[in-house]
Amino acid sequence: MSTNPEQTTISAQLVKELRDRTGAGFMDCRNALTETNGDIEEAIQVLRKKGQAMARKKASREATEGSVGCYVHAGGKIGVLVEVNCETDFVARTDQFQQLCHDLAMHVAALDPRFVRREDVTDDVLAREREIYREQARQSGKPDAIVEKMVSGKMEKFFEENCLYEQRFIKDESVTVRELIEQAVARMGEKVSVRRFVRFKVGETAGGASVSAAPPAE
């Protein structure tokens, strides 16, 4: 990395490529590329860290505005509604926010998460999954300490597969949905969070939907 980033020449094409890949603003992309001496992969990490820091800073703020995104797929066989919250009606009406809502609904349609966050997984589900994984691990004949490590690894995989925030974003698997939302926070300057979603599939019998919810002001 250059010790004199101000001397680095950053082309408009490189800035455009970074913007296309991250959705970040022009100056944020230019500054990140300057900081990393034009290394686009390192610049992506810089932008991610900025988004994470801003998301943490705004985590305690209330997000009571927002919008409901929708997506219908597979010839009308699968439909999703997702409530995404932000702090102001102004941001909720922007094209960027509406696109985020649409993308999240599309993601839910494709990957069918059961919960919004890992914290939303119910105690009975956690207990059942842990017992299944523990029994599977015991059959390997490993010592108890190793068995528990195997169970922990399996549980992390469970969260990645079943919790929206932990899943890899369907349109860009280099980021999780959590990171996608953190990037949105950095761009929009407001707290952004998914409150709940519902997924319908024609022919389902056990309720026909997956629903998760979190308080809008958490």
Q: What CATH number should be reported for the domain holding residue 16?
A: 1.10.8.10
* Domain identity same for 100 and 15: no
Residue 91 domain boundaries: 65-118+163-213
* Domain identity same for 128 and 103: no
Residues 6+ apart with CB under 8 A from 204: none
Give the pLDDT of the chain (218 residues) as one tens digit per residue: 444 444 457 888 888 888 777 767 777 888 888 888 888 888 888 877 776 666 666 665 677 899 999 999 878 999 999 999 999 999 999 999 999 999 999 999 999 999 999 999 999 999 999 999 988 888 888 788 888 899 999 999 999 999 999 999 999 998 999 999 998 888 888 889 999 999 999 988 653 444 555 444 44
Domains: count for the chain: 3
Helices (H), the chain: 12-22, 26-35, 40-58, 89-92, 95-111, 123-138, 144-162, 177-188
Which of 185, 217, 203 lies closest to 50 in space, CA to CA? 185
pLDDT score of 209: 41
pLDDT score of 10: 83
* Domain identity same for 33 and 127: no
- Distance between CA atoms of residues 52 and 47, nearest Å: 9
Is residue 158, in this structure, part of any structural domain at all? no
Q: How many angstroms separate the Cα of 145 from the Cα of each of 9, 134, 152?
A: 54, 11, 11
- Distance between CA atoms of residues 20 and 41, nearest Å: 13
pLDDT score of 35: 86
* Domain identity same for 104 and 33: no
Is residue 90, in this structure, part of any structural domain at all? yes
* Domain identity same for 14 and 48: yes
pLDDT score of 26: 79
Residue appearing with tokens 């599977």 = 136
- Distance between CA atoms of residues 22 and 2, nearest Å: 23
Asked if 194 contacts 83 with a C-beta cutoff of 8 angstroms, the reply is yes
Is residue 156, in this structure, part of any structural domain at all? no
Asked if 46 contacts 165 with a C-beta cutoff of 8 angstroms, the reply is no
Within 10 angstroms of residue 54's Cβ, the number of other Cβ atoms is 19
* Domain identity same for 196 and 208: yes
Is residue 128, in this structure, part of any structural domain at all? yes
Phi, psi of 67 (to 5 degrees): -155, 160
Q: What global pTM score does this model have? A: 0.70
Segment holding 70, helix H or strand E: strand 65-73
* Domain identity same for 54 and 80: no
- Distance between CA atoms of residues 98 and 71, nearest Å: 12
* Domain identity same for 101 and 168: yes
pLDDT score of 23: 67
User: Cα dihedral sign for 152, 153, 156, 161?
Assistant: negative
pLDDT score of 97: 95
